[in-house]
Amino acid sequence: MQTRRRFVELATISGAAALVPDALGAAARPRAAEAPSSGTRGRFASQLGRPFLAEDDHGARVLLVLVEVSDPAMLGAPGLGGHPECFSASFLGPAGGLRQGTHAVASAGLGRLSLFLVPVGRPDRGVQRYEAAFNCVVPS
């Protein structure tokens, strides 16, 4: 789990990139051939500790940092632990920055995505944890 200090360090580094107009936004716009086909665990795991920009309900950018990629808290079927398409991605960001819902999210490594983000738990010193869950179809 990331500490608040590490989050602040990452936010400071990422904030410098925000000073250059649309720097991350331009880098996060993949060409059609580069767009990720799905949200796989490995692709997200390769982005741990990296910044993501999400858009709030008013189109303002909210900085998030990916801090964990893990098995979902409740697995509905045995044998899904470590499944490449069934996982949770946890981010740290500002408290009150995003409401539960689908948000446009961009990162230099994954491009532009639409993620359903849920604030998890109570904010701690102005930092909120957000989670995106990725489900997979389980054959019966």
Closest CA to 89 of 117, 68, 104: 68
Which pLDDT band, with edges at 50, 70 and 90, does 100 fall under? very high
Q: Which domain holds residue 112?
A: 4-134
What is the predicted pLDDT for the residue at 121? 94
Q: In which region does residue 45 sit, left (phi positive, over 0), alpha (psi from -120 to 50) or beta (all else)?
A: alpha
Which pLDDT band, with edges at 50, 70 and 90, does 27 fall under? very low
Determine, yes or no, domain membership for 90.
yes
Q: Which amino acid is at 93?
A: G
Residue 23 has pLDDT above 60, yes or no: no
Determine, yes or no, domain membership for 19.
yes
Contacts of 110 (CB under 8 A, 6+ apart): 28, 36, 43, 44, 47
Give pTM, 2 decimals. 0.69
Determine, yes or no, domain membership for 139.
no
What pairs with residue 94 in β-bridges?
A: 127
What is the predicted pLDDT for the residue at 41? 86
> In the chain, how many domains are there?
1
